[in-house]
């Protein structure tokens, strides 16, 4: 009989609800008793996911926020074992982009047992640290440097617990007011280096942050490409242009099913590629799927097509 493995973030208050839902689904579907693994501060899920695969799990259910899902996905890369998601975070961005249940533990658990398999891409990044060492990571949604990383690292956790994603808006307003621009060198598909100044650089595997906001309108989880978006405004007017593109133009592109195409001007750059390299004149903060990953001097990104199987709605 098939067996589910559950990788659970024990800090989330739904543990008992998840255990009850899993027990009911086991009985209804005739599966073996599930395996259970709890994440830790030292390991948010990579080792637990690898252990679940090695222990013979047929499906792995990640219960937690974007950080837990990212770590479990990293541990399951190229395994062929499907990942199911019970989203319990603030953004839940991969779940949103996949159209999964967001506030329905029973529904999310049911997809682990009865959902269909969908292969998606993962993004792999080699981070060059200040001391020259390299750190290799995998993520599912977006990496951010500059403004985005500052927002993620400076948002108050207690405020985030009370008001959810609105907490990022407050922090974002403060960070935008600082108008800090970084010097960035970038190479697309190993070509010549180009340079620009930008407040924010995003490298996405999918483009939506929910609520019909598309930072990268052409991005898709299974197109074999990554999407680079750089915001480069130098003034309030520039930020108004960037805001129009993100909240209006890009949303219309998606709604009308048109391609935005490559765009580079003095306000934004939007480029698709299978690999790209970013280099920074000064060390910069970086975030992966909403989690802070310290300072980097460079980062090389590549897409891993179809390297993760996820459970989605039939």
| Calpha distance 113→119 (Å, rounded) | 17
Q: Does an H or E element contain 228, and which?
A: strand 226-231
**Strand ranges (DSSP E) for the chain?**
4-8, 35-38, 59-64, 83-87, 116-128, 134-139, 142-146, 182-188, 194-198, 200-204, 226-231, 263-264, 268-273, 275-288, 291-312
| Calpha distance 89→95 (Å, rounded) | 10
Tokens of 57: 């799990």
| Calpha distance 80→194 (Å, rounded) | 38
* Residue 182 contacts residue 198 (beta carbons within 8 Å): yes
Distance of CA 159 to the CA centre of its chain: 21
Tens-digit pLDDT string for the chain (314 aa): 999 999 999 888 899 999 999 999 999 999 999 999 999 999 999 999 999 999 999 999 999 999 999 999 999 999 999 999 999 998 899 999 999 999 999 999 999 999 999 999 999 999 999 999 999 999 999 999 988 777 766 666 665 556 565 555 556 555 555 667 899 999 999 999 999 999 999 999 998 888 778 889 899 999 999 999 999 988 888 888 888 888 888 888 777 777 887 888 889 999 999 999 999 999 999 999 999 999 999 999 999 999 999 999 99
Q: CB atoms < 10 A from the CB of 188, how many?
A: 17
Residue written as tokens 């990022």? 168
Residue 225: phi, psi to the nearest 5?
-140, 155
| Calpha distance 292→195 (Å, rounded) | 25
Distance of CA 269 to the CA centre of its chain: 20
């Amino acid at each position: 009989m098939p067996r589910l493995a559950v990788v659970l973030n024990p800090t989330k208050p739904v543990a008992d609800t998840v255990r009850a839902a899993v027990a009911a689904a086991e009985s209804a579907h005739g599966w073996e008793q599930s395996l259970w693994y709890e994440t830790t501060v030292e390991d948010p899920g990579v080792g637990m996911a690898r252990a679940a695969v090695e222990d013979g799990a047929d499906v792995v259910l990640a219960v937690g926020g974007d950080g837990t899902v990212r770590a479990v996905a990293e541990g399951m890369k190229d395994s062929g074992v499907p990942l199911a998601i019970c989203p319990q975070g603030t953004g839940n961005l991969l779940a949103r982009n996949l159209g999964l249940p967001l506030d329905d533990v029973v529904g999310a658990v049911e997809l682990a047992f009865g959902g269909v398999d969908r292969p998606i891409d993962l993004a792999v990044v080699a981070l060059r640290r200040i001391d020259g060492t390299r750190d290799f990571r995998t993520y599912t949604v977006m990496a951010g440097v500059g403004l985005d990383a500052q927002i993620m690292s400076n948002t108050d956790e207690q405020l985030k617990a009370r008001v959810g994603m609105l907490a990022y808006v407050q922090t974002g307003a403060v960070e935008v007011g600082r108008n800090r621009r970084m010097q960035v060198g970038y190479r697309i598909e190993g070509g010549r280096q180009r340079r620009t100044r930008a407040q924010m650089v995003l490298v996405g595997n999918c483009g939506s942050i929910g609520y019909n906001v598309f930072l990268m309108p052409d991005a898709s989880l299974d197109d074999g490409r990554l999407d680079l978006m750089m915001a480069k405004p130098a003034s309030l007017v520039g930020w108004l242009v960037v805001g129009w593109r993100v909240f209006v133009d890009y949303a219309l592109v998606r709604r009308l099913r048109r391609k935005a195409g490559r765009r580079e001007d003095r306000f934004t750059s939007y480029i698709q590629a299978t690999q790209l390299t970013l280099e920074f004149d000064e060390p910069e903060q970086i975030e992966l799927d909403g989690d802070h990953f310290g300072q980097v001097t460079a980062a090389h990104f590549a897409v891993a097509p179809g390297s993760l199987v996820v459970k989605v709605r039939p």
